[in-house]
Structure 1
Amino acid sequence: MWLNFSKIEILVLERLSEGSAGPGKLAGALGKKNSFISRVIGKLLQKGMITKNGHEILLSQAAHAQSFKRLYDSRPNARIEDWLCGSAMDVMIVLAGFASGTDIKTLAQEVACSKPTVFGVLKALYSAGVAGKRGNTIWICDSFVCEFAQTYADGICQLLVSKANGHNISTRVIKNVVVRTDAKDVPPLFSQTGMNVLIARGMDAIKTSYDDYSFSLDMKKRAVGVEEAFIDALLLTTLLLHQDNVVLAIFLKKNRKRLNIGKLRELAKRYNVAGELDAMRQALDYAEKVG
């Protein structure tokens, strides 16, 4: 649900981009039954795209909803519902996560839909002029589309993180979200990662009242391996949490032969912390030489 919009959801958002309306008015304008539109409204409320004021339905003031309005206003009479529906948002979020574009192999690995579906979405995006392809590189070439993909992913991330009722620090890389929280009750979607996993693997560190979790915006829960847990913890150090750097370096030094360094480097590149990992490894190499 989170990474897919039905055509009727987009049509409702288009109507609300032009002004507020009641469910009955929306149903009449779109030729649908009131009960059907009520279900659509429920889904859009969950996504934070709309709000209710009595019987009136309004486009939300949230960043991702207002970003949709800017996209809609930038393409008048363009029938954006024809190419924004289905799995398009999933594909767009992944493409928007690569500033210089990416290739079809990486795209297919990141999205939750099948490869034939990806090709179908891309064909529609190319035809609409919102995505481009040069050689093996695919990218979003419409700034309003790119902004909507980014702000929508951020908005959904915030909605899901807020379900952990505590003091939360989080960061998102494409569809992967890493959270540090003192909440004792977290959504079932959350998987332990970071310091939680590393301490369980023998890290010399005292457990604090905070726990590290990760989840994916495609809502598929999975176990986190030690290499990914390490990179998640390293990613959290970029959020002014530098105190973890020392214990992470010690863990890396003690477990270099057990860790898959190639996988660490691959994950670090994907999570934009390759520089931090290289600096840590170089510091350890230097310490060994002079020690």
Structure 2
Amino acid sequence: MSVLVYIEHAEGSVKKTSLEAVSYGKALSDKLSFGEVVAVALGSISADELGKVGSAGASKVIHVNDNKLNEGIIQAHADAVAQVYNQVGAGTLVLAKSSLGDAVAARLAVKLNAALVSNVVELPDNTSGYKVKRSIYTGKAFAETVVTADHKILAVKKNAVDLKTDGTAAQVEEVTLSIADANFATKITSTDKATGEVLLPEADIVVSGGRGMKGPENWGMIEDLAKELGAATGCSKPVSDIGWRPHHEHVGQTGVKVAPTLYVAVGISGAIQHLAGVNSSKYIVVINKDPEAPFFKAADYGIVGDAFEILPKLTEAVKAQK
């Protein structure tokens, strides 16, 4: 019984979250003595790029190289993955939790008559049954879900597992599937993408600013630090509400929820709505001149001081390290 991993890619590269899913699938296979780990990729992407999935633990990648799958139409992706799942005789499907992954996984659960567990943070405990630990309440708590179904779909939370990098190149096999035209009935007429060198949902580092930045004219300091760190930029809800920054940069419970390795909050007090959108970050650094700012209680590291003095020095320090 093999483990199948659904791969997402963008701009010609496999997403880091999907590589994490492959590493999770490999660890799962090793722990439960399953067979090989097979990845499935849909749409246009080079064989060389797909071969790199092997470093994360996959032995083979099945590539459905159909241009009609490039747009990420959910019904078509679910149909294609279900076909591959059955062809390879998989018992478990692993994927990254994402906007596309969530929608595809829900449909696959019905197609495959499988149990779906989302926000998975650890390998299953099989000492007595099959229990999966997952994050709930926007990361404030954990739940253990007992799974009894023969077929299982596990959606892995970003940064919840270690990324394996010591595997060998995977064999890439191109296949052609018959996907019913009805699955392409949905038409995507336009797509609005956030601008910037690094996009918030995919960012491994995020630098966000709040009202403590005093005005949009001072945002260059946030952008300078973000550029040196290779980070995306974000902001608090009040900042986007008053028009200092675009709404797609709003990080929080009602904005973009992020789970980077490093989250740097500058001049943000730390309202509960903002914390709900960032508390899955691996490390949180807070810069605020108010020592009583609530954000410090959630921070791994904190700097009490004036952001207008600290940010330029921090940016220069990062440059020096590079």
Please identify which structure carries the higher strand content: 2
- Please classify the TM superposition score into its range, dividing by the shorter chain length: 0.3 to 0.5
Higher helix content, 1 or 2: 1
What TM-score results when the alignment is normalised by the length of structure 2?
0.30
Higher RCO (C-alpha 8 Å, min separation 6): 2
